[in-house]
Structure 1
């Protein structure tokens, strides 16, 4: 599917007419599959077939990431109330960011992130948007496959009843990620439309709901302090300190919470592709999908963080499942939860791959029609690169830290705000109008987040104390 070249002939006239009618203008060509040539094709001519529910599943699955495993640790470094305030702010800002993208897309009739960059800043804007999307999603895909590489051998070991690792090939994480990629991820990535992945996205979310249920159950099953479990090493804090929930707390790790939460809500490259395939597409309908998805993830994030924190308090570790395993490595429920998380992250990889492929197609083959060979070849090359990255790089935390600190603020804050300022005509909204001032402040906030995140990463490197910056 390709975007038609935009025609600018009567753009200001159409915009003014739309304002007189009280409607938001939606014009210029987009996927004119139903046009008979008797009228100018509109981007609404594309007949989407994905339902509201399936679109919610896909967008929620795009939001959900491996960062959920570190939210309890983030809460232990902020306190319950401060964490809730930060989580609420990031969720609301993400909804506003989706609003900016949909408004910009509606005015110019474009539903591709890269094409919005082209319309706003010309070819450099298109390249910048495509590069940021590619870097961010490759980092996300790599983080998911790193979980498969590290966790799947342990799950197999537990199911075989082995107490120590062996040299068998099926216990080698490098072999396992190749098998999972070829057998599961690649066939799903060959789907022509993102909407077809709604069923796998729904199953993936079900696995994460099971994870949340286990976290809640374990809160009432594990007592504090944890002396009863010989495999767990207690901190030096007193039992009263370890088993007391903090409402507000500030320490060296608190500054990492905001970039972790911002990274956990990045779904913006998937918003416009999902909008493209939505049945009965309107901006309000797609905004509702975004709001429902973000609200659902907000509830899941907060419940997971809260019950995980209230289980381990001061002993909460950066990776929640690892904390449970240290308490009782033979726990069958936690073993099943680990398997569910593996399934969830595996089924998320194809959803994250779609925006990268779209970005590369927009850069390399902007005028070419859809072709199966090109579609499959790009997916195969991307998965090969990600597999090599996961296999050859022993510690990729620093790479994730840099990409997460730069791409997440860019996709959520900076680019949507700048697109809105540049694309919305001044006769619709002058530069000093409230919406454009808010969009400018929104973009500026992204630069603040980016500067802050990079500053703390550099400070960590220079001090030699590397901390984990949660990955989506």
Structure 2
């Protein structure tokens, strides 16, 4: 089987070929190349992005992480306290950055060019299959979330146009069924290159929602702001589910290997620049959204923040985001299907292609209709499948390779990595379970 190919295919499909090889703006020593000497800072920062540049790579990495999960962040302080959530946001960012570093360190050291290939090299073929199954489960859950959000957003738009609220359940089931029927032909497509622009549209819509939330707070809330309503700390078991749901927002590790392979003169230092800028930008956006969203509604903050708003600007945002969710399903179903076909060694079978598409499309659709708890699924994805992909496997393979090199268990790097893997893993798994109980 050629499972190692699935990582590159998965990542490239998730980002619709967003990153391609070409000359970068910086040399290995960090000096500007001759081609950029005549460009002003403004042009280098805001001008057209060259394929394969650091800036293009940063945006591609952010696109892999940012999406529907961030809309649930403003509701986290309701159950865990604002300061706790800010700290968890920073911790999750550091954990994500840490795992990127050890993955790239191992990839450069042992000349491995995909996540699946690195897992096979360090842990063997069986763990490579385990990794592929984990990726399938993760994308499967993401597809369920997209379908849930699509129906919820469509319902919110219908409510704005005075649709009878007593038909909510009917809209969920009938709308979900219609969604699966209409979406199926798109999911059957093998080549989704024409959908590559939806990634950039997603970023624009997220920026629009973020700016609108901040403006809403400044106009409608700031004058009558009551700081006594703020819950700063709340130490309870739901902290673990908040951790798991927050961690979901920093999972973009499917893309780091394609970025590394497509950057000209790729080095660990330059990859670190990409990681730092992407994680920092994500953290700023998430914190801004969470703080202003929560402070606008306090204990009345909905699980999905845009459900709190019913004015025209947010109705437009809901319609646009529903549009993005429609195409997010086939974009994520395609690599998941490819991984399934590679696992069963049926890559060239049309029959297997159709059956796997039907199963993925309609199984996720049925789950979305009967279990429309999107925040609980965010916790499950971040706490188990994402945690395995981002923390458990990277820590395990790093320690294994270091021990093979002759390092001892007493080595400080091994001890720190082991502790991070154990603590984060247990917290994430616990949070995934708790999210099913309390969300």
Indicate the SS of the match to 1:222.
Answer: helix
As a proportion of its length, which structure holds more helix? 2
CA contact (8 A) 2:383 2:431 kept: yes
Q: Alpha carbons of 1:343 and 1:298: their partners in 2 closer, same or farther (altered >3 Å)?
A: farther
Aligned to 1:313: 298
For 2:240 and 2:141, the matched residues in 1 are separated by 22
For 1:383 and 1:74, the matched residues in 2 are separated by 35
Deviations 1:76-120 (A, max 9, x none): 333333222111111011001011111222233223222222212
For 1:174 and 1:116, the matched residues in 2 are separated by 40
Aligned to 1:363: 343
Q: Which runs of 5+ in 2 are unaligned?
A: 9-19, 23-50
For 2:63 and 2:358, the matched residues in 1 are separated by 19
Mapped pair 1:452 → 2:425:
no
Aligned to 1:436: 414
Q: How many residues align?
A: 392
5 Å matches for 1:221-370? 221-223=219-221, 244-251=229-236, 253-325=238-310, 331-349=311-329, 352-353=332-333, 356=336, 359-360=339-340, 363-365=343-345
Mapped pair 1:385 → 2:385:
no
Task: Name which of structure 1's ranges 354-363 and 111-120 shifts more when overlaid on structure 2.
Answer: 354-363
CA contact (8 A) 2:180 2:361 kept: no
Deviations 1:57-85 (A, max 9, x none): 33212111322121111023333332221
Q: Alpha carbons of 1:162 and 1:399: their partners in 2 closer, same or farther (altered >3 Å)?
A: closer
Aligned to 1:55: 57
Larger Rg: 1
CA contact (8 A) 1:56 1:292 kept: yes
Deviations 1:143-170 (A, max 9, x none): 0122112322543664xx4432788999
For 1:376 and 1:271, the matched residues in 2 are separated by 33
CA contact (8 A) 1:64 1:264 kept: yes
Aligned to 1:414: 392
Aligned to 1:95: 97
CA contact (8 A) 1:269 1:355 kept: no
For 1:448 and 1:259, the matched residues in 2 are separated by 11
TM-score (norm: length of structure 1): 0.71
Aligned to 2:164: 164
Aligned to 1:133: 135
Q: Alpha carbons of 1:455 and 1:136: their partners in 2 closer, same or farther (altered >3 Å)?
A: closer
Indicate the SS of the match to 2:231.
Answer: coil
Q: Alpha carbons of 1:424 and 1:106: their partners in 2 closer, same or farther (altered >3 Å)?
A: farther
Q: Alpha carbons of 1:80 and 1:439: their partners in 2 closer, same or farther (altered >3 Å)?
A: same
For 1:294 and 1:174, the matched residues in 2 are separated by 37
Task: Name which of structure 1's ranges 374-383 and 197-206 shifts more when overlaid on structure 2.
Answer: 374-383
The RMSD of aligned alpha carbons is 3.8
Aligned to 2:370: 394
Aligned to 1:175: 178
Aligned to 1:328: none
Shift of 1:267: 1.7
Aligned to 2:15: none
Aligned to 1:22: none
CA contact (8 A) 1:68 1:264 kept: yes
Q: Alpha carbons of 1:301 and 1:380: their partners in 2 closer, same or farther (altered >3 Å)?
A: farther
Indicate the SS of the match to 1:281.
Answer: coil
For 2:387 and 2:171, the matched residues in 1 are separated by 43
Deviations 1:263-311 (A, max 9, x none): 2212223322343444443333333223222222111110000111111
Shift of 1:360: 3.8
